[in-house]
Amino acid sequence: MVFAIGNCHIDTAWLWPYAETRRKCARTWSTQIRNMEMHPEYKFVCSQAQQLEWVKEDYPSLYQEIKEWHKKGQFLVTGGTWIEMDCNMPSGESLVRQFLTGQRFFEREFGAPCDVFWLPDTFGYSSQLPQIMRSAGIEFFLTQKLSWNLFNKFPHSVFRWEGLDGSEVIGHFPPADSYNTSAKVDEVIKTVQDNKDAGVLNAAMMLFGHGDGGGGPSTAMIESLRIMRNNVPGLPEVVVDNAERFFEHAAGRYSELPRWVGELYFELHRGTYTSQAMIKKGNRKAELSLRKADLVIGIFASVRDSASEHGVITEFSDLLSYCWKLLLLHQFHDTLPGTCIRPVVEEAEAGHRKILEYAQRVSNDLLFGLTGITSSAPRVEERERENEKLLVLFNPNAFLRTPLVLSVSVGVDSETLKCSTVQQVDKETSLVVVEDVPSSIALTVSPKTMRELQEDYRCSIVHRGDRLYLKNGQLKVEMGLDGRLYSLILRGAGNVPDSPNFVKGCANRFVLYDDVSLFWDAWDVEAYNFEKCYPVDSAVSFKIIETGPLRASLQFEYVLGSNSRIMQSVSIESFSNLLTFENFVTWHLDRKMLRVEFNTFLRSPTASYETQYGYVQRPTHFNTSWDAAKFEVCGHRYADLSERNYGLAILNDCKYGYSVRDSLMRLSLLRSPKSPDDLCDMGDHQFKYALLPHAGSFPCVDVMRSAVAFNQSAELRVFSGNYVAEDGIGEMFALEDENEQQYKGSVLLDCVKKAEDGYDLVLRLYESLGGTETVRVKVSSRLGFKRAMLCNIMEENTGELEAVEKSDWLTVKIKLSPFQLQSIRFPRE
């Protein structure tokens, strides 16, 4: 049986800007309504809530027609997400918001959420999607993109897809290998003959209609199917129906369906992890700024729940909603991957700047309110201090990392800092050591700072011959004047000896690759470019920038070619085992790719890469074609290569492309394809990465927490004003183990937000390293909550939790299975 599904995949942006897509939607959907008028049996499937909202705004009369034909059962909506997004690079919270925002739109506008996740044209699928889908009320998944695989044919057409945590959905790849068929006889026959699972389910979908640039099914296609539906001899049974009907048919054979476990890795378009570096950086920074703004407004709405503050809360909530929709839009599967034309790139970069501006405004304004610092009338318990400065610490993470070196504005008096160990960085900032960072999400006034720094913890640099030696309490580092790293040793303590040298030969070696693709320029990097590469020449200059005591740093300059160079700062800080590399790159090379390499002494058959809400392991060898296909892979904030006793992680602040082969770790930095944007990545770039050597193997809590803090750490700020809070808002959210001790495990409190439909508070946690964990979640009594409930990502209650009030905290205990994502809702009484 062939389920013929009329559709039109409209790229929200690609070779045209967003504005043109708004017109494409109107033209396409009005055409489909005319088709419905002429063919009562015809049904059309439409996805992407953002496109529907555009039509609602621009063409209200057409939108009303769409809703009327939807009621008749012919104009069908599907997908469940705001747009058809990239699934490799968005954070876990971004994927959650795609479903939360999309499903709420479909339910509000069309009376029900969607049952099918419709994503035909995205470049790979995260192993956490099944869990997120199920939490959004979706059990079915459709794509066809893996039919483009270059190395291996995906073995199934309809299957059970099991995610990282064990959640399952039914997946379907239409055997015609296209979402743009013309409903011809040969395509119907191909749908039947190429069904890889016909022995289990002798049925498949065939998606027909002109797509990518719009249009949809033509009258000729519909007429062709009308003829084939009349039981033409020699042809399979053809029905024109919706996707849900097919999946219900498949669900009847659920236990017999084959099972695929883990990510759906796409064996093509690996260059999308790196192309358009500014978009990827803007996306990462925007995600983090919205995380902070959500947290601040969630706290503010809880402690300031009064009629006088409702206007402020509503205004800022609406602003954050706008920002999230804008971020989700720019995570479209041709925008975030960087496979779009220059006008789309410029619009995405401008959108990210706007998100950062608005989110920062929300955070700053509400943090002022929470600390009681205001130039107008006091809002909370305050006392007047004329012309006095106040040191305020904001920790956005519910874990401890102290002592901690933080920057603070220059000009702060020693009484405010309450310490004598200060290192001036430049005219605007100094470094201090905060000795007592709360192991909780907290806003603390006058945190404890370290008065004296012991000699063992001081940073130092020694220049001897052609080597530069950096040392702190955790690391011993040897750099060459050429900029290469020759030794990285984790210092022992007490009876624990120093580690071996993590570097084999040299590391921090920049390498340029000839980057000419077989098919798709901005989309692809090829396996053969590893054979067409050459190391960047040694640094042309070096300079010692900082000699301690809190930070020691070097600067190297490299010449890449005509008008292209790298200025790199290499640094260590007191109390940290990170070796940090901050890079300022001017990039004007054509069809080249820049990677940095780290040759290590470590050997392991797999390396570990952060993905949404967890990590995935991938081979470091090419034993099979499935292994060899993963020569370039996507990772988020870290990648780790570990043996039993030691491991080394690469952390980054805005990069996603990695390659680990045997003992050699690579991080992809920049590309310069010429199509569809001939200015791709041209210009100036700033980014950071770091090396984290660690004792013990991976999974490693220190790697996970360090990667989180490397991207969003505690902040230390100085405020001045006549009115200041007595002690700030204090500790708001904390995690404990079962023994009521400071939690040191693998559960992360990733999101705190105000509920979508009121003043309830939603917390989202996940187990990050693949173990079963029991954790006590503590919420400050200052927030005024008395109860707690489990909920899904749609913020719908799924069960009551026992909540205990004790010692200024409301505490709930939950058990998380490996890689489980769990939301908790605290209702406002």
User: 239 by DSSP, 3-state: which?
Assistant: strand
CB 430 within 8 A of CB 422: yes
What is the Cα–Cα distance from 537 to 482, expressed in whole angstroms? 8
CB atoms within 10 A of CB 78: 22
Q: Among all chains, which residue has been given the structure tokens 């100094």?
A: 430
What tokens were used for 126? 């995260």
Residue 348 backbone phi and psi in degrees, to 5: -65, -45
CA angle 460–462–468, rounded 5-degree value: 110
Residue whose C-alpha is closest to residue 125's, from 616, 555, 589, 487: 616
Which structure tokens are listed for 415? 């009484």
Q: What is the Cα–Cα distance from 779 to 705, expressed in whole angstroms?
A: 21
Structure tokens, 421: 């160990």
Which residues, at least 6 apart from 120, have a Cβ–Cβ distance to it below 8 Å? 9, 84, 142, 143, 144, 145, 179, 207
Using DSSP bridges, classify how beta strands 116-118 and 75-77 pair: parallel, antiparallel or unpaired.
Answer: unpaired
CA atoms within a 13 Å half-sphere pointing along the CA-CB vector of 48: 26
CB 28 within 8 A of CB 47: no
d(CA 401, CA 627): 37
CA distances from 771 to 131, 260, 344, 364, 519 (A): 16, 21, 42, 37, 42
Contact 541, 556 (CB under 8 A): yes
92-110 helix and 49-58 helix, angle to the nearest 10 degrees: 50
Residue type, 786: K
What is the C-alpha to C-alpha distance for residues 171 and 177, in angstroms, rounded to an integer?
14
**What strands, in cross-sheet order, belong to the sheet with 168-172?**
116-118, 140-142, 168-172, 158-162, 259-261
Q: By CB neighbour count within 10 A (0-12 exposed, 13-18 middle, 19+ buried), where does 197 fall?
A: buried
What is the dihedral sign for C-alpha 142, 144, 149, 155?
positive
The CA–CA distances, whole Å, from 780 to 380, 618, 733, 743, 745 equal 17, 41, 6, 16, 21
CB 81 within 8 A of CB 142: no
Q: Is the dihedral of CA 157, 135, 793, 747 positive or negative?
A: negative
Q: Determine whether 640 is an active site residue.
A: no
Closest by CA to 183, choosing from 202, 211, 158, 156, is: 211
Computed over its alpha carbons, how large is the radius of gyration of the chain? 28
Give the largest Cα separation in the chain, rounded.
Answer: 93
- The label of the residue with tokens 């794509």 reads 143
- Tokens 């219900």 -> residue: 248
Residue 665 CA to residue 489 CA, distance in Å, equals: 17
Active-site choice (11, 86, 121, 515):
121
Q: Which of 410, 589, 579 is nearest to 508 (CA)?
A: 579
Catalytic residues: 121
